[in-house]
Copies of this chain bind each other. A is one copy, B any other.
């Protein structure tokens, strides 16, 4: 039987920010989704409630042992005024894979998708309409049992909050400078690198802080074992076009399986552009560069979609890629993905999922 989501509407509505003043992840909508887990009840009481602070005991495990997972996806407004999601099932599948790694009880993916759709439908007026803007959707699970023992929590909250976000590139897609990270490590096989959990992000802050002072946008992470193989760029997956072929690091247990990553691979295959998932070392990349074969490089993730890499710095050598400009494939992938997301072009992969807005929550 399909579960009903209880809805408690907010008595007052916030003023919506101006579209040209939107930042990423600073403003939140009027409502949020909350579902509780306790033993022996399991996940229960799925509810849409007014956006509000959480009241949590200071001994709750989330504050001590970091047992948490999250996801990130977006709702887009089409020119017809419809709201739509991009491959949300993949985010929810990944949330459950993260749950397994972090010993968190799995959620019902269908119920979670229904919750996201109902919440987005209710908050449809919060989806900004301007080019490149969207409504960022943040599902997350936190461990809330008031207990200081190092053990999986027996209480959790699954929450979804929404934030209207501006265009990632205010002046169009723009290549960035990246530093190859040689000191700090993001993740290692056997750790939590392929899960979307807080600790991976907390661990990454220091490297980012160091290179930001030197003018770099992000770091390129190498594997934690040999400090040799390329893993990710910042919190995105990474692609290189080498001598006509697009290469991305193969999933190995320490790399996050990005939804955008998978979409890029499918698009390239659809276009008959050679694409391969395999181990790639920083030395191989450097040699390709010296041979004039490193044609493009870009990051891929939900926030920026595609982030071209104009310069890569390794051992004080600056590798300038495609004259520091956005490459042809990077641009084509970016344009096509965003056109599909905003419903401006056909969707041959059936990636887009419409959010139906029932008349009772339709806004004036």
| Complex CA–CA separation, A297 to B32 (angstroms) | 51
Residues of B within 8 A of A65 (CB): 198, 201-202, 205
Q: What would 20 A/B residue contacts be, using CB atoms closer than 8 Å? A: A24-B148, A56-B56, A58-B159, A59-B163, A65-B201, A66-B68, A66-B202, A67-B198, A67-B205, A102-B202, A103-B209, A138-B148, A150-B201, A150-B204, A150-B235, A191-B224, A192-B202, A197-B199, A197-B202, A224-B225
Evaluate contact between A55 and B58: CB separation under 8 angstroms: no
Which residues of chain A from 183 to 213 have any CB-CB distance to chain B below 8 Å in the complex?
183-192, 197-206, 208-209
Task: Let me know if A147 is at the binding interface, CB within 8 A.
Answer: yes
Please, which residue of chain B has its CB at the minimum distance from the CB of A209? Answer: B103
Given A63-B140, A161-B58, A198-B64, A205 and B148 touching (CB < 8 A)?
no
| Complex CA–CA separation, A323 to B56 (angstroms) | 47
Residues of B within 8 A of A208 (CB): 150-151
Which residues of chain A from 146 to 200 have any CB-CB distance to chain B below 8 Å in the complex?
146-152, 159, 161, 163, 183-192, 197-200
Given A53-B56, A66-B68, A142-B63, A203 and B209 touching (CB < 8 A)?
no
4 smallest beta-carbon distances between A and B, as pairs: A199-B199, A66-B198, A25-B148, A185-B190
The listed residue (B53, B67, B188, B204) touching A185 by CB distance below 8 A is B188
Residues of B within 8 A of A25 (CB): 59, 147-149
Task: Let me know if A26 is at the binding interface, CB within 8 A.
Answer: yes
Evaluate contact between B192 and A199: CB separation under 8 angstroms: yes
A7 smallest CB distance to B (angstroms): 18
Task: Let me know if A289 is at the binding interface, CB within 8 A.
Answer: no
Task: Let me know if A334 is at the binding interface, CB within 8 A.
Answer: no
Q: How many copies of the polypeptide does the oligomer hold?
A: 2
A71 smallest CB distance to B (angstroms): 10
The listed residue (B54, B66, B188, B209) touching A188 by CB distance below 8 A is B188
Residues of B within 8 A of A147 (CB): 25-26
Task: Let me know if A136 is at the binding interface, CB within 8 A.
Answer: yes
| Complex CA–CA separation, A52 to B25 (angstroms) | 28
| Complex CA–CA separation, A205 to B150 (angstroms) | 8
Evaluate contact between A103 and B54: CB separation under 8 angstroms: no
Task: Let me know if A62 is at the binding interface, CB within 8 A.
Answer: yes
| Complex CA–CA separation, A59 to B142 (angstroms) | 12
Evaluate contact between A203 and B191: CB separation under 8 angstroms: yes
Residues of B within 8 A of A28 (CB): 58-59, 146
Evaluate contact between B188 and A192: CB separation under 8 angstroms: no
Please, which residue of chain B has its CB at the minimum distance from the CB of A205? Answer: B103
Q: When each residue 117-154 of chain A gets 1 if its CB lies under 8 Å from chain B and 0 otherwise, what string results?
A: 00000000000000000001010101000111111100
Evaluate contact between A66 and B197: CB separation under 8 angstroms: yes
A161 smallest CB distance to B (angstroms): 5
Q: When each residue 57-88 of chain A gets 1 if its CB lies under 8 Å from chain B and 0 otherwise, what string results?
A: 11100111111101000000000000000000
| Complex CA–CA separation, A225 to B25 (angstroms) | 36
Evaluate contact between B185 and A189: CB separation under 8 angstroms: yes
A227 smallest CB distance to B (angstroms): 8
Candidate in A32, A202, A209 with the most chain B CB atoms within 10 angstroms:
A202
Task: Let me know if A51 is at the binding interface, CB within 8 A.
Answer: yes
| Complex CA–CA separation, A78 to B56 (angstroms) | 34
A307 smallest CB distance to B (angstroms): 13
A346 smallest CB distance to B (angstroms): 32
Task: Let me know if A318 is at the binding interface, CB within 8 A.
Answer: no
Residues of B within 8 A of A140 (CB): 63-64
